Structure 1
């Protein structure tokens, strides 16, 4: 698998990033559909065998157990110097004061805890999971800059915020000589394209790598609209993300099915090929709970959609309320 540069970092990453929210102890945290360690490890190993070297997790996923599972697997299966490992902070793991958010105290505690769970001295990319409305961005950026200077993270990134917030972050970092965000992990797929209005042009202008999360819309783009899955049945976040424009979304899903049928490929390949082909997109963050999910993701990299197919996929879209920022 050919690698590409992660924005302006100089890092070589696979054009797919394995999102590791799927891996964790189901009884820990908010995701009852996660896979235990014995089920997770073969999928992580298969990703490595397919050429994926970019892995994204978060301290919040399954109460930290995602980081533990991913850290042990990568230590056993991979050369740390060849891996690009990313994690995130913001959401609290306990109800105690200062357990979450992006204060200096919270960030310092979170990075040390994540490194311990991951079993590594540093992460390649440390991301803020959301915007903190209660902490000045200056406080957050200076703390993140100190994390980088301490060698605990090589680069920093952001996720899911308004373009004005991201622009303010980049400007503030530049003005103070602090480490700037190198990546934007945002909600982007055929059912939610609001990022095309401002965030994606901003990232293109600033040389920021785009890492879309939920490129398959929590699996909705891979099956008929009325078909469900164990994850979808228990995923409260997913219900909120895709509840505002059902009629239009159904039409998009049907168009994906039509093109996939004509091409003779799984729907996931069509939906992922569309995301990966967008300017500025560096590596869509894919989830994989079954081996064929990884096979389809890798195969999508070789699927070139025609201009008419892209136009057909995009023609059914209607403006959506922005979701996924809070």
Structure 2
């Protein structure tokens, strides 16, 4: 993971829908499938299912596999309270979140603890919570999520400025063929500070699977009232053209549209591990099956061009 000593597999398993759209039995099957295929990184958060995702993961580590089989990444500083989304990155709030996460996960430490979002608390206070958690042994490595370029660079430089502070080792942000904004400032900042990248929604919030080409399926996230807002930005004409291009490439390579979209992200410069938010074992197994495959360079170049131009990090 970047310049750190932490190693993870090429793909991560996301748990945002656990305890909500994904039932416990399905979550257990997803985790088992992922680990059996050699995966280890599982990304969760207190905000996922109001803590339910962490609770399920903690239960499965007692009943289905060993704690040492996983690299657990969780977050702090963001949640839903009283029906409203609240960002609180104060030191007290972050450490309270961590204590609750450890209880739900039934473990004495997490491998990667991430600030879920940029908040209003003084940055030095937020980062002091990371230092304290690492010093106390509750956290092995730390990172940030959803920081834009200047925020990430400022936080990373602050942690590097004084020996003994916990260096940031990773950043997590949306990144896919439909969302390449991270290439402008975030990816260069991560590279400069020796940090790894975990792309969330590498399949364009599910749109790059091609399932929305003929409309919005009722059983999709876009067909559900509580998630339609999340999908809608990628149901425009530009996104449709990108999906069509990915589908043509997939047909020629005898892959699925989702597999091509994933391979493009997984092998993009600076990426550590895309986070897979599969909701069924069938979806996950299909994505895991292309572990030993890569896209031909002409296909990569064509997809770069149709989605915004050459990736400056490619050779």
| TM-score where L is the length of structure 1 | 0.88
Give the SS at the match of 1:12.
Answer: coil
Q: Is the 8 A contact 1:270 1:303 kept in 2?
A: no
Q: What is the alpha-carbon root mean square deviation over aligned residues?
A: 1.9
Q: Is the 8 A contact 1:74 1:80 kept in 2?
A: yes
Q: Is the 8 A contact 2:175 2:202 kept in 1?
A: yes
Q: CA deviation at 1:176?
A: 3.4
Q: Which of 30, 44, 49 is matched with 2:36 structurally?
A: 49
- In the other structure, the counterpart of 2:285 is 295
1:283-307 deviation per Cα after TM superposition (whole angstroms, max 9, x unaligned): 0000121112222222233222112
1:53-90 deviation per Cα after TM superposition (whole angstroms, max 9, x unaligned): 11000000111001101111133222222310011112
Residue 80 to residue 9, structure 1, CA distance change in 2 (3 Å): farther
- In the other structure, the counterpart of 1:216 is 203
- In the other structure, the counterpart of 1:258 is 248
- In the other structure, the counterpart of 2:58 is 71
- In the other structure, the counterpart of 2:132 is 146
- In the other structure, the counterpart of 2:9 is 14
Q: CA deviation at 1:175?
A: 1.9
- In the other structure, the counterpart of 1:199 is 186
Q: Is the 8 A contact 1:269 1:297 kept in 2?
A: yes
Residue 250 to residue 276, structure 1, CA distance change in 2 (3 Å): same
Q: CA deviation at 1:227?
A: 3.4
Q: CA deviation at 1:154?
A: 0.6
Give the SS at the match of 2:114.
Answer: strand
- In the other structure, the counterpart of 1:227 is 215
- In the other structure, the counterpart of 1:166 is 152
Q: Is the 8 A contact 2:72 2:112 kept in 1?
A: yes
Distance 1:258 1:196 in 2: 25
Query: Which sections of structure 1, spanning at least 5 residues, go unmatched?
Result: 1-5, 27-33, 320-326
Q: CA deviation at 1:318?
A: 4.3
Distance 1:200 1:175 in 2: 21
Residue 227 to residue 303, structure 1, CA distance change in 2 (3 Å): farther
Give the SS at the match of 1:81.
Answer: helix
Give the SS at the match of 2:142.
Answer: strand
Q: Is the 8 A contact 1:218 1:232 kept in 2?
A: no
Q: Is the 8 A contact 1:43 1:291 kept in 2?
A: yes
Give the SS at the match of 1:135.
Answer: coil
- In the other structure, the counterpart of 2:92 is 105
Q: Is the 8 A contact 1:269 1:303 kept in 2?
A: no
Distance 1:296 1:44 in 2: 15
- In the other structure, the counterpart of 2:108 is 121
Distance 1:222 1:39 in 2: 20
Distance 2:291 2:144 in 1: 25
For the pair 1:309 / 2:299, whether they are aligned, the reply is: yes
Which stretch of structure 1 is more off in the superposition, 34-43 or 62-71? 34-43
| Number of aligned residue pairs | 302
Query: Which sections of structure 2, spanning at least 5 residues, go unmatched?
Result: 310-315
Q: Is the 8 A contact 1:20 1:287 kept in 2?
A: yes
Distance 1:135 1:236 in 2: 31
Distance 2:206 2:251 in 1: 17
Residue 238 to residue 100, structure 1, CA distance change in 2 (3 Å): closer
